[in-house]
Amino acid sequence: MKRRKFIAVSGMLASAWALPKRLFAAAAGSDRLDAKARELVSQMTFDEKIAMMAGKLGFLAPSIPGPYQAVETPGCPRLGIPGIRFADGSRGIRFEGSTCFPAAIARGASWDPALEQRVGEAIGYEGRARGANFFAGVCINVLRHPRWGRSQETFGEDPHHLGRMGVAVIIGAQNHMMACAKHFAGNSIDRSRHYVDIRMDERTLREIYLPHFQDCVNAGVASIMNAYNSLNGEQAGHSKHLLKEILKGEWAFPGFVISDFGRGIKATVPAANAGCDVEMDRRRQYGIKLKLAVAAGQVPMENIDDAVRRQVREQLRFLPLESRKDYDLSKVGGTKHAALSREVEQKAIVLLKNENQALPLERAEIKTIAVIGDLADKLNLGDTGSTWVTPPYAITPLQGITRAAGSEIKIIHHNGLDLEAARQAAKQADAAVVITGITRLDEGEGHDRLGLGLAPKEEDLILAMAEANPRCIVVLEGGGAITMERWRDRPAAIMMAWYPGMEGGNAIADVLFGDINPSGKLPMVFPKSEDQLYPFDNVSKVVEYGYYHGYRYFDRQGLEPAFPFGFGLAYTQYKYANLKLSGKKIGKTGKIIAQVDITNIGARPGEEIAQLYLGYQGSKVERPVKDLKAFAKVYLKPGETGTAQFEVPVEKLAYYDDGSGKWIVEEMEYLVYVGPSSKKESLLSDSFKVV
C-alpha cells in the first residue's frame, strides 16, 4: 500500500520561512533599515513627525463606502515616505467590489495555514490594486466565549491554532502590503469594549492571550493595533507593560503600533509614552495636544522619534511594493479569487452529524429536494462593521443547490415561515435541507449575542422538518458556537457552514452532493448549553478572565460538550495507529517529534486534520489537562495510509512563572495525545520525559 509523509511543525517555525526572502531579512531586524529610518527621521521637522503620528481622512474616491475606509497618514513625501493607506477587512478588503471570503472563523475551521496564506495573498493583492498599502483585518483575539459578537472575525479559541492561522494570512497579505494584527490585547467582549477593564493574572496573559501575537511578530507583521479595553487597570493603548515591556522589549517588535479607531487611546501623554505610535482614525489625542505635551516636557522627544522611526522603517521595508504598477483591477472580485473563496468554504464546512448516510445526497437516488428556511435564499455573509465586504455577486444556498442538482432533480423551496406549508413541502421530497442559523442581527461588532441557541421559531422549524422527513439535513450559518440540545438528536445530519463567503451557496451544495468530502473541524468547543460555560459579562466595568476557557475549561471541569474542539466528520473514516515518538527522554533545548499513521478506511478520498495535544504529569503548577501544540492536514485516497509528523520544540512546553517572570520548562513526564479531535477517547497516547 502506498504511504506518504506529511509534516506539521509548531506555529512560529512553520511559517517564518515562507516570508519572501527580501522582506524576511528586513523583518528580522536588519540594521540597514533601522539606520536608514533613523537618518530620514533626523531630517524631518517636528511638525512633519507629529503629522505622521495621526491618521486623517484621505486617499480613496468618495464612491468607496464606509466612514473608516479612507484613512491615511501623511507620510513624508519630500523624503519619499508614502504614509499609511489603511484598509480594513477580515473576510476580504473592505471596499466595494472585493472578493468576499468566508469569515475568518470559517477559515479557522479549515485548519489549513497554506490555504489561509493564499487568502491573505488574494486580499493583499486586491487591497493594493485599490490603492491601499495597509491591511488591518488580521483579528487574532481569543474566542473566549461564543457570545462575543466578533467571534466570526477571529480564527478560534486556541492560541497555537490562532498563531498559525494569523501568521499565514499575514505572510500572504504582506506579499503586497503591510499587515496589522489586532486587538492587543484581551479584546473578547464587544458591548462594553470601550470601557471594560479585563483582569487576568500574568500567567494567563502570557500563556493564553499573547502567544499568537508573538507568533505574528516573529513572522514579521508590520503593525499591531491596540485593543479598546483596559487590561489590569490600564487602557491597552496606554500600557507600558503591553507595548514597551512585552511587545517592543521582550519580543523586540521592530514595527509600529496603531490605536484602534476613535477611542483606542484616551489621553495624550500616557499613550505617547507607552509606545502607541500612531493614533487612528484621526488626531484627537495627538496632533496639537502632542506638540504641547512635548513642549511641556511631558513626552520626551526620543519617544516621538522612536514612533516615527518605526513607521518609517516599515514603510521603507515595503517600499519596493509601492512602486509595483502591475496590479490588475479586473482581478478584484474576479473569477480566480471567487474560486479560491469557494475552495476555502468547501474546506471550512464542518460535518457535525451524519446518520443513516443521510449525506451525501447521491444524485442517482434523489428526485426531489425540499430546501427550507428563511436563510435559504438570503445572503448571510457576516457582520457589517469593520469587516463588511460587498462583493460583485454572491450565491445563496438555494441558488447553489439548484445549480448542483441539475435538471434531473426537482427543488422545492419554502421559506419555512408557514410551518404547515413547509411540512407539506418536506413530506413530498426525498430529502429536506433546512438552511438556518444566526445573522449579523444576532452578532457583530459592538453587539454580542443574547444567547447561544437559534431563535425558537427556527428550532420549531427544524423539529417539524425532521418529523416530516427522515432525511432531514440542517445547514447552520453563523460565527460562534450554536447550542442545539432541543433538536440535535432529531435531524439525520447537521453541518456548520459559518458565514460562507460569496461562493457559499455553491460550496454548501458541493458538500451536500458529495462533490467535496467535508474536512473542516471546529476551532472552538460547541457546548450543550450556555450553563456549561463560565459567565459572559458584557456590562460590568471589570471582568475577570480565568486561566481556563474553551476545551481547556471543559477538560478541567470534566464536562462533555455537544461537539468537542477539533471535531468534524467526513464521508469517509480514518484510522489512527502506530503513534511513535522520537525519544523517551529529551533535553531542554531539543524537540519532540511524533509520528502517526492515518489510514483512509472509507470509499472516498479525503483530507484529515490530525491534532497533537500535550498533557503534563507532576507539574509544580496547575496545568491544563491537555493543550494543542501541533496539527497537520493529510490527504488520503481510499485505502491509503499516510504518516503525519508533528514537531514540538521543548521550549513550547514551558509555563510562565509569575514570580520570576520567566518561562520554565519542567523536568518531568509529558503525555502526548494524537488523534482526530480533542475528545480524549479518540486519541492515541504516549509519553516522554524532559531531562
Of 261 and 563, which CB lies nearer to ligand BGC in the complex structure?
Answer: 261
607, 517 in Cβ contact below 8 A?
Answer: yes
**Measured from the CB atom, is 67 or 558 closer to ligand BGC?**
67
Contacts of 684 (CB under 8 A, 6+ apart): 576, 577, 579, 596, 673, 674, 675
Q: Which is nearer to ligand BGC, 73 or 386 (CB)?
A: 386
State the minimum distance, in angstroms, from the CB of residue 260 to ligand BGC: 5
Q: 8: cis peptide before it, omega within 30°?
A: no
Nearest to 595 by CA among 630, 548, 557, 627: 630
Q: Which segments within 292-399 are labelled E, that is strand? A: 350-354, 368-372
CA distance 508 to 405: 12
**Orientation angle between helical segments 31-42 and 301-317, nearest 10 degrees:** 120
Q: Sign (positive/negative) of CA torsion 44, 225, 100, 341?
A: positive
Considering only residues 53 through 72, tell me which ones interact with ligand BGC, judged by CB under 6 A: 68
Closest approach of ligand BGC to the CB of residue 261, in Å: 4
CB of 177 to ligand BGC, least distance (A): 15
When the beta carbons of 261 and 536 are compared against ligand BGC, the nearer one is 261
**How many whole angstroms separate alpha carbon 667 and alpha carbon 455?**
51
CB of 386 to ligand BGC, least distance (A): 4
- Phi-psi category of residue 550: left, alpha or beta, with phi > 0 → left and psi -120 to 50 → alpha: left
The residue to which cell 466528520 is assigned: 569
Binding flag, residue 443, ligand BGC (CB under 6 A): no
CB of 187 to ligand BGC, least distance (A): 8
Least separation in angstroms between residue 248's CB and ligand BGC is 21
Residue nearest to ligand BGC (CB): 386
Dihedral angle at the C-alpha atoms of 596, 601, 604, 609, nearest 10 degrees? -30
Binding mask 112-141 for ligand BGC (x = CB under 6 A): ------------------------x-----
Nearer to ligand BGC, 223 or 469 (CB): 223
Which C-beta is closer to ligand BGC: that of 182 or that of 471?
182
- List residues with catalytic annotation: 260
- Annotate 435-457 with b (16+ C-beta within 10 A) or e (fewer): bbbbbbebbbbebbbeebbbeee
Q: Which of 48, 88, 126, 157 binds ligand BGC (CB under 6 A)?
A: 88
Least CB distance to ligand BGC at residue 180 (A): 8
Can you tell me whether residue 175 is helix, strand or coil?
Answer: coil
Hey, which residues between 181 and 220 contact ligand BGC (CB under 6 A)? Answer: 182
| Nearer Cβ to ligand BGC (261/673) | 261
Residue closer to ligand BGC (CB basis): 133 or 415? 133
List alpha helices for 130-223, DSSP H.
159-173, 202-204, 211-218
Task: Write out the binding residues for ligand BGC, residues 246-305 only, by CB under 6 A.
Answer: 260-261
Crossing angle between the packed helical segments 159-173 and 211-218, to the nearest 10 degrees: 30
The DSSP call for residue 158 is: -
Sheet holding 3-9, edge to edge: 3-9, 641-649, 591-600, 574-581
**Which positions from 341 through 400 interact with ligand BGC, judged by CB under 6 A?**
386
Instruction: Tell me, by CB under 6 A, how many residues bind ligand BGC.
Output: 7
CB of 387 to ligand BGC, least distance (A): 8
Closest by CA to 27, choosing from 128, 163, 175, 225, is 175
Where does this chain bind ligand BGC (CB under 6 A)? 68, 88, 136, 182, 260-261, 386
